[in-house]
Amino acid sequence: MNDIYSGKFITIEGIEGTGKSTAMHYVQHWLEQHSIPFIQTREPGGTLIAEQIRQIFLKKQAEVMEADTELLLVFAARSQHLHQVIWPALQEGKWVVCDRFTDASYAYQGGGRGIDAQRINTLENWVQGRFRPDTVILLDAPVEICLQRTMQRGALDRIEVEKTEFFERARTAYLKRAAAEPERYKMVDAAKTIEEVQQQIGRILSQLHMH
């Protein structure tokens, strides 16, 4: 599926507090410097309908959201996002940089909530076909460092209020996926300074640009 697109699809992954927003800003700056046409987007979200689904997904409510509901909401938003935004941009030859994608479903709903990976894979194949990110930039840092960072942000959403164990399981799921496909997953040590993190990301983007 990826072969028919001239653009590149890059996702930025990591648990809360790994610095994804800062990384997204840096990637934007790098692509502008290198005159590469691109769009930036996020999941769940990226389209009008998908952003409405995001609001339902993140809002704290009296009713407990079932794990399957959570997973299905994310893939419903993803389907909309792919058809309306991601695939059209790639067909135009643009790079698409996305804050989270399907790896987050494996990490949060799989690792965090305990949904069987096979069920997630069924939805992945249904919604995406063979389409996968060209490169996944995985920002990784110990959970306690990440949670210290998120606590400084103020109001937390439905996912951010989860317990440490939830994020430990999510981090483990990310690392497992990265270890299984090291050529596609690029690890970034997010515990380092912003400058060092940006240097790591810059090297990854340079390699991508050359290929």
Per-residue pLDDT tens over the stretch 174-200? 999 999 999 999 999 999 999 999 999
Higher pLDDT, 144 or 32: 32
Residue whose C-alpha is closest to residue 75's, from 109, 48, 41: 109
Q: How many CA atoms lie within 13 A of 143 on its CB side?
A: 15
Give the model's confidence band at 1: pLDDT under 50 very low, under 70 low, under 90 confident, else very high: very low
Distance CA 152, CA 17 (A): 10
CATH code of the domain covering residue 187: 3.40.50.300
Going 107 to 203 to 42 to 162, the CA torsion angle's sign is positive
Q: How confident is the model at residue 4 (pLDDT cuts 50, 70, 90)?
A: low
pLDDT in tens, 138-178: 999 999 999 888 877 777 788 877 889 999 999 999 999 99
Query: Of 15, 5, 24, 13, which is closest to residue 101 (Cα–Cα)?
Result: 13
Structural domains in the chain (count): 1
Domain residue limits at 189: 2-210
Please tell me the total number of residues recorded for the chain in this structure: 211
Q: Who has greater pLDDT, 147 or 8?
A: 8
Q: What are phi and psi of 59, to 5 degrees?
A: -75, 135
Angle, alpha carbons 201-205-206 (nearest 5°): 115
In tens, the pLDDT along 68-116 reads 999 999 999 999 999 999 999 999 999 999 999 999 999 999 999 999 9
